[in-house]
Structure 1
C-alpha cells in the first residue's frame, strides 16, 4: 500500500499573491483551508444538493456567504433537455429514438437490408448510421434526432416491410410510430432547439473559445429559446422573471419545418392544439431548467465579456469596479486596477486576436524599470479566465484512462497510469506525438543500464528453475518496465 500524504495549511500562503485572494484558514481546524469564493462541481446531488450538498455544507460551516457554486454547464444543458423532455413530451418519442438504434445495433443483416432499401430510394446513395442517445455523452441527442428526421421516409418504409416479412412485434410498433405524423412533428420542433443547445455545448467543451464570452453565449441561448414562445412585445428579463406563463404567445411560430409539415399532414384541430400546447410546455420547462442551473451571480459574471481583447482596448468601456469587488479585490488593489484599466489601451500590444494570449502578454509585460505596470489588472484577468465552466477536459482524461487501463491491463499500477497520461497530454501540449518526439540520448542510456540490471538476476533464476513466485515477479517486472522510463523524467 503506497503511503498517503496530507497537505496542511501553511501560514506563508497568506503572503503569496497566488493564494491570499481566494484561500482562507478554517476556523474550526487551523490545519485546513477553504476557497473563499468558488467551488466548481458536476451536477451530482451530493455536490449541489440544497441541504446536504458539499456546497451548502461548506457555506454553512465556514460562514462564507460569498461561496459561489459553478456547475459544469455541459452537464447542466444535458440535464435540462432530459428533464424537460420527461415532464412535457410523450414517452414514445424517447422510445422511438432509442429502439431505432437498438434495432440495427446488433444485426448486420438488418443493416444490410436497410442499406439496400435506402440506396434504392435515394439512387445509390448510402445512409448514415443511426446514432445512439447516451446519457453520459452530452453531444449525442441532437445527432440522433437529426439522423432519424433525415431518414424518416426510409425508416418508415423499412419497418413497414419488416413487420410483414418477419412478423415482428417490435417492427410493427416502430412502424406505427413512424406512421404517426404527430411524432414526426414533435421531432421537427425539437431539432432547431437541440441545434442551438448543441452549438453552445460545443463552445463550452472546446479549448480554443474565448472564455470571456461563454456565459454570454449561455444567456443568449436562454433568451433565444424563450423568444420562441413569449410575446414579441413582452418587456421582461427572461433570466429573472417569475411569471413567464403570463407572457406566453397564444399562437407562437413553431419553426419552418414544423409549420410546413403541419400543413401537409392536415391534423384534426384538437390534435393540433394538443401538439402545440405540449411543445410550448416543453419549451417553458426547458427555460426553467436552464435558469435553475445558472450561477446565482450570473449578472456580474456576464460582465466578464469586458475583458475580451476587443472590449479592453476600446476608448469607451464599462467600469471594472464591480467585477473586481466580486472577485475579492481590496480597496487599494481596486484603485490600481481602475488606473491600469484606463491606461492599458495606450500600450501597443502584439496579440490582439486571442484574449488568452493578450492577457498572457499583459501579465509578462515589463517597463523600463523591469516592473509590470499592469500587474493587478492582469492577475485579476487571469483569475477570471481560469474559472471552471465545464469539466469536459476531465471527461476526456477519463476516456484516455479507460483506453490505457483495460481489463487485459488491469494490473497496471496507478503510478504507471498517471505517467502515461502525463506523457500523452505533454506531447499534446507541445504539438508532438510518439512518432515525432526524440528521446534524449542520456535517458536512453539510463534505461539500458537499469534494464540490464533487472534482466540479469531474472536470467540466473530461470536457469536454476523458476518457481511460481519467480514467474509472478517476472510478470510484475514486465508490467513496470514502462514505469522505469517515467521515473527518469
Structure 2
C-alpha cells in the first residue's frame, strides 16, 4: 500500500519541479526561485555589450581546444615572454572552466601574450585560419575591448560567486544576509573614497577651468580639417598647408605645442611672420598654468631652496628653476648639456657680481 503512495508522491514532486523549472526559464525575472535567476541576469545583460566580446570569450578557448600544436606554440611563446618566470603559475587561456568569469579572467591575464601569439600566427597560418587569427588580433589590439574585459571580470565573477552561494545544499540564510551587509559596507566606503577624491580635485582646480575646455581647438587635426576647424575667418590655412615643407620640414607635428610653435616662427618670402599674432595667442593659451603646473613649480622650489641653501637670492632661485624646467621640458639631462659661445660671453664679472636685492637673503619660514 505504501509503494504506490510513494511513487505517486515522487511523480507529483517531479511534475512540480518540472513546472517550476519551466516557469523560471519562461520568466526568470518574476520567478519565486531567486537563486536560479542570477545567471539569467548576467546572460541577459551581456546582450548590451558589443558582440565581439562574446565572440572572444567563445572562440579564443575554442581555437586552442582543437589543436595540441596551437597549445604548445602558445606555451612556448609564454615561456619566451616570461623569461624571468614572474608569471609561472598564471593559468593559460585555453584551460577549461565552466564559469564565464574564469574565462574572462584568464583571457585578461594573458592579453599581451595572446596578442603576441596571434601576431605570429597571422603570416604563417593557412587561408581560413589566417582570417580568424587576423580577426582575433584586431580585437586584441583594440584598447576598448581590453577596457570591457577589465570592467567585466570583477562583475561577472561576483555574480557567479553569489550564484554559487545560493546553489549550495546547506546554505545558511544568516550567512547570506551577513555577506550582503558586508558588500553594502564595502560599496559605501568605496563610494565615500570616490566622492572625497572628486571634492579634493574640485578644490584644487584653477578658477579659469573654462579656458582649458577650448584648448582642444588648437589641435592640428582640427585646425587642418575642413569640417572640424575653428571658424577663424582670417586664417589662411590653405596657404599654410601648401608651405608646410618649409615650416615643418615635410611633416606636420601632431602635438599642439610643436605645431603652434612652428606657426609662430614661420616667415614668408619677405621675412615677415604672417601668423605671429595668431601663434602668440595660441601659445599663450596652451601655456596657461594649471594647478598641477603650479604645484610642480612649488615642488621644484622646495627641492632647490633647502635648509642648507636657504640664503639663495630670488634671482638665482628663479634662474635655477628655469634651467631645471627647460631641461625637463626638452627631455634632456645636465650631463648632456652643451654650453654655447653666447653663454660663455655672458659668464663675466659684470653679470656675476651684481648686488643682491633687499630682502633676497631673508630666510624662508
Larger Rg belongs to:
2
TM-score, normalization by structure 2: 0.41
TM-score, normalization by structure 1: 0.32
Larger relative helix fraction? 2
